[in-house]
A = this chain, B = another copy of it.
Amino acid sequence: MAHHAGAEIYTDYPPPLTPEQEGYLVQTVKDWVVEHALTVRPSTAIVPEETNPVTVLATSAPVTLFPSPFPQACFEQARSLQQIYNELYASIASDEQWLEDIMKELIEVDDFLANLWKIHLSVKEEGYVQDLSLGMFRSDYMLHTAEDAPVSLRQVEFNTISSSFGGLACKVAEMHTHLATFPSAKHPLAYPPHPLFANSTDKSPINTIGHPPPNEAVSTLVAGLAAAHTAYGPSRSDPPLPTCILFLVQDTERNVFDQLALSTHLYNHHHIPSFRLPTSKILAYTSIPSKDTNPARPLIYTPPSSPSTPYEVTVVYFRALYAPTEYNTPTSWAARHHLERSAAIKCPSILLHLSGSKKIQQVLTSRPPDADHMKAFLPNHPETALENLRSTFAPQYSLSASQYSASSEPEGIRLALDETTAANHVLKPQREGGGNNIYRTKIPPFLNSIPRDQWKQYILMELIHPPAVAKNTVLRSDGQVVSGNVISELGIFGTCLWKNTPGSTVPEILHNTEGGYLLRTKGKDSDEGGVAAGFSSLDSLILFAEA
């Protein structure tokens, strides 16, 4: 059966190393990562603040020493879905009424969502002055194995804000390719012979390329930013100002070099300048002319180092303000409101940000005889395409009464409270950022410990069962090298630029592309992901065709 071929590959992968081989591989990786800026700023756990008071040190991003094997058919399926997913989320973000119907009971109990919604309503009342929206998306999947079924893709989440690691993911693929092909693909120094590499001693190697597929994440994501920048058109200021893109970043960002890979490419290949703006400085360094001065509301960025040369912002690219914890100053919400009402194209807008809620993901799984939202949002796609999307949905359930998922409500609560069925599920809050999920048998006592009217904040999702025997070795940011059983999560990048027309819920799509991937790999005994948190590592993949 199909998934058995996969299991065999995982069993003898990665190839074992002699001490000399491991020494060479680790040293080569340690040098390569710095030479190519596959790096992060070290956490204070690695370098205490008193040792690194002025933040000039860098360390390796956590990386796997080998690319992880991945079924080619699943990779290609994930890629083939991306542009339809892009369109789906553009459509969702364009249907304010539908979104409101879904979100309203969450808004009642979740301050974060409520504040976002309030900003939307306020800007709507004033009148939006920008009808373009940009999505830079990443759809995340895991491999799922089940008895008597081929290995399949299951979507973990669809990211509509701050989809990160495109920059570093490209470099990991490049590094693994270097390791598999230097000085020649037939005799790479870093990797011993294996059927997945071109140095295979088998007559019929599994993989004929022998290295990861090229990763186009940076050029894809940057092309999306450039398309939005161009679509913005000329300056709306009087006199006209030079234009720029703003990268909105966290004040204490450690994942700087992932972001710089995009801004540098944007400047070198598209000649578009971009500036980094920490969230704490939004109100200090950006402004919008008063209504009387300029009703077009251009967003003006005044570089603190050069106040005499202001810029007009075409696109605000959010690499921050996705999590409730980031709105921790008296002016955080005012700053978000300020950006939303400006003429800059937001990546994402408030409505697109909200569209990435897990609640939306759960609602989309409903199908006839319940509401068929997929069909409604993608009327021009054949049913087979929609079924292809649906095939990646893990069963998931609301824990509330909802007009859109009435029939599943009792089932979700029943599954969550029964210890036997709960053992095959995860409870997910709306909240972003990892660390908040409740797993398996901890679900019933957890739900019983909180008021029942809070339950609707959670989604119950069936656990995904990845191949059990995958292994890899990781270089951590603290320099330690650890090996063990791993689970991988595949992300596919895509971008979408669309225009909304007043009175219509159908977006006019101007740019819709797929390109680039992220593989994040974590130790199997860890339930949570999040590369930045140090639990998981950046990886690339080596494809195999199943027997």
* 8 closest cross-chain pairs (CB), A and B: A54-B479, A183-B273, A24-B305, A56-B479, A20-B304, A34-B58, A21-B305, A187-B309
List 19 extra interface pairs beyond A24-B305, A34-B256, A184-B273, CB under 8 A. Answer: A20-B305, A21-B305, A24-B303, A30-B56, A33-B56, A34-B58, A36-B37, A39-B58, A46-B57, A47-B52, A48-B51, A54-B480, A56-B59, A56-B475, A56-B477, A57-B479, A182-B273, A189-B275, A189-B309
Q: Which residues of A contact B (CB under 8 A)?
A: 18, 20-21, 23-25, 30-31, 33-37, 39, 42, 46-48, 51-60, 182-184, 187, 189-190, 242, 244, 256-257, 260-261, 264, 267, 273, 275, 303-307, 309, 475, 477-480
B187 close to A305 (CB less than 8 A): no
In the assembled complex, the Cα of A36 lies from the Cα of B34 at a distance in Å of 9
Residues in chain B near residue A184, CB distance under 8 A: 242, 273
With beta carbons under 8 angstroms apart, the residue of B57, B307, B477 that contacts A59 is B57
Q: 19 A-B Cβ contacts within 8 A?
A: A21-B305, A23-B304, A30-B55, A30-B56, A31-B256, A31-B257, A33-B56, A35-B37, A35-B264, A46-B51, A47-B51, A51-B51, A54-B478, A57-B58, A183-B242, A183-B273, A187-B306, A189-B275, A189-B305
B59 close to A182 (CB less than 8 A): no
In the assembled complex, the Cα of A260 lies from the Cα of B29 at a distance in Å of 13
A35 close to B305 (CB less than 8 A): no
Of A36, A42, A306, the most chain B CB neighbours within 10 A belong to: A306
Residue ID in chain B nearest A36 by CB atoms: B37
A58 close to B58 (CB less than 8 A): yes
Residue ID in chain B nearest A306 by CB atoms: B189
Q: A260 to chain B: closest CB distance in Å? A: 5
In the assembled complex, the Cα of A23 lies from the Cα of B260 at a distance in Å of 18
Q: A307 to chain B: closest CB distance in Å? A: 8
Residues in chain B near residue A477, CB distance under 8 A: 56
Q: A7 to chain B: closest CB distance in Å? A: 29
A189-B306, A304-B24 known; A257-B35 Cβ under 8 A: yes
With beta carbons under 8 angstroms apart, the residue of B21, B37, B183 that contacts A37 is B37
Residues in chain B near residue A260, CB distance under 8 A: 31, 35
A183 close to B267 (CB less than 8 A): yes
In the assembled complex, the Cα of A23 lies from the Cα of B53 at a distance in Å of 15
Residues in chain B near residue A56, CB distance under 8 A: 30, 33, 59-60, 475, 477-479
Q: A3 to chain B: closest CB distance in Å? A: 33
In the assembled complex, the Cα of A21 lies from the Cα of B478 at a distance in Å of 33
In the assembled complex, the Cα of A33 lies from the Cα of B480 at a distance in Å of 24
With beta carbons under 8 angstroms apart, the residue of B25, B30, B59, B478 that contacts A305 is B25
In the assembled complex, the Cα of A238 lies from the Cα of B135 at a distance in Å of 61
